[in-house]
Structure 1
Amino acid sequence: MKPMPLALILSSLVAASRVGGGVSERALNAAKIDTMLVPTVLFGRHPGWGAPGGGPVEQDLFQGVLSGIADQGLLDITDIVLTGYFADVGQVFDTAAVIDVVRKGKRVNKGVKAYAARPMVIVDPVMGDAPGGLYVHAAIAAGIKDQLIPRADLITPNLFELGHITGRQLTDLASMVRAARSIDCPCLVSSLPRHGQIGVMYVDQDEAWMVTHDRVPKAPNGTGDLMTAAFTCAIAGGADPKTALENSVAVTVALVRRAQEWQAPELPIVAAANLLQEPGLSFEAEPL
């Protein structure tokens, strides 16, 4: 029997909001990808609603959870590492070390072979957004830039994060593409202004694609987490980057529209889980 993919998610766990690692886990599970979620924070709600409750996962506890996974031999057969929000720079360094272990893994555990010949590392560099700027400590942002991005097979910044990572002024589409290519790692970049709409682009050294869609006022939190997870699922399933881009935007827009239709304050990723596989709308990416 062919094994199913196994993903290690290192991100936030928020009880009452559909954001962070919780969204990632649900989206990957819907694509028949097994998950191991290692939380970086335990919050009651998204900080956008007010004081979140809870707090960061202390580094000793974070390391202990990772040690348990390692002792079970599961890092050897991890196919996907997906990182998101970090609350402490120590968590970033621990994650970098875990990525190295996964990359050097035997790809077999107790006779069970990994799904993929080589693990895939996706780094969502959660640092900040316009117009507010950084909403993590500068040391965390620096750790993501210096420790995780060089280890990534794909990064998924928003436009502000792309500018912060590259230190470049992003004044037009050409400068955005150049900035993405300067990282020397494929990029999925969200929150791009485009002819009164909003765009998402995929860029690597060989190709660049853009999908645009209408802005949705008061969209629920977690859309970036959802798009990253949906893109990851598509790539893991064998889709090319253009198709993965089109699909991930369709899934995200479909769930946002459903949230508005139902007047839901959070992404209805459970009640409308069917949209993760069949969003019911499509977008055509344009070459850049």
Structure 2
Amino acid sequence: MPLALLISSHVAGGQVGASAQAAALAQFGVDAMVVPTVLYGRHPGWGPPGGAATPVEVIEGMLEGIAANGLLGLTDLMITGYFASAAQVRAAARAIDAVRAARADAKRPTVIVDPTLGDDGKGLYVPAEVAEAVAAELVPRADLVACNAWELQRLTGAEAGEPQAAVRAARLLDRPVLVSSVRRGDEIGVVHADRDEAWLAVHPKAAGAPNGTGDLLTALYAAAMIEGQPLAYGLARAVGGVVETVIAANVWNAPELPIVAMGARIKQTSPGVTVERLG
């Protein structure tokens, strides 16, 4: 059974961050080890979240315990997300190196970096030193960078808001990139670009969506990578899972993403999603 190491936020009252990703990955038979960078009661978008950042010494201690049980050598997938300090970022970078070293003679683990830095209209919502550390320490270590268009522009200095611009900006990072919040007319979608090809999955923009869609997208696409799914199908399924979960949240008037309630539906494509090759 695949094993994932998630280093990101834990929000007790919300389906965001590592806890949301663990719930989504479970639908694909992926076990998750969660190392929280913050312990919050609710998403900061609702107001003061309660709780606090996790001391870096605690994060390092948790990682040491995981390593002591030989679990780094069994890790198939690693996802990094939200960080509260540059010291946490550096600890995550060391963890990536340790996981890869532990599996040096076996299957190479997949490392996905979600540079959770900010968003369009909100700007940077982590300290500048955290953004700088993520760009310097984590992005170069990634097998896939999973970001929104605003974050891609922040990382590259290049416009990334529409599909072809997102492809050009993504290729500046010289590694596969999954870019969300890409707009085309009245549609919104996700671009996947690497050196060889680029794909776009688009759908009508929902009137509203709970927090955590980017975290969910990353987890669903990670599952496709672990399964070895073809790129276009993996993208369609991941975006479809997010779209259907948002639709369900709106129908049920759910304030959070109903990831567990979706069950196997989260693993399906959506009729509202169109996939096309960009190059």
TM-score by length of 2: 0.96
Matching residue of 1:65: 62
1:259 is aligned to 2:249: yes
Q: Secondary structure at the match of 1:61?
A: helix
Aligned AA (1:160): W
In the alignment, which of 175, 178, 188 is matched to residue 168 of structure 2? Answer: 178
Matches within 5 A, 1:1-288: 4-106=1-103, 117-170=107-160, 172-278=162-268, 281=271, 283-288=273-278
Asked if the contact 1:11–1:20 (Cα under 8 Å) also holds between the matched residues in 2, the reply is yes
Gaps of 5+ in 2: none
Structure 1 position 169, deviation (Å): 3.1
TM superposition score normalised by structure 1: 0.93
2:161–2:183 Cα contact (<8 Å) kept? no
- Two-structure CA RMSD over aligned residues (Å): 1.4
Q: CA deviation at 1:186?
A: 0.3
Confirm or deny: 8 A CA contact 1:246 1:282 kept in the other structure. no
Query: Where does the alignment leave 5 or more consecutive residues of structure 1 unmatched?
Result: 109-113
Q: Partners in 1 of 2:200 and 2:269 — Cα distance?
A: 19
Change (3 A) 1:279 1:178: closer
Count of residue pairs brought into register by the alignment: 278
Task: Find the residue that maps to 1:272 and give its secondary structure.
Answer: helix
Equivalents in 1 of 2:247, 2:205: separation in Å?
11
Residue identity (%): 46
C-alpha offsets along residues 125-179 of structure 1, whole Å, 9 cap, x if unaligned? Answer: 1000011210001111111111001000001110000000001234653332111
- Residues 194-249 of structure 1, C-alpha deviations (whole Å, 9 max, x = no match): 12110211000000000111111120110000001000001111102111110011
CA deviation string 1:34-65 (max 9, x = no partner): 11000000000001111100010011111111
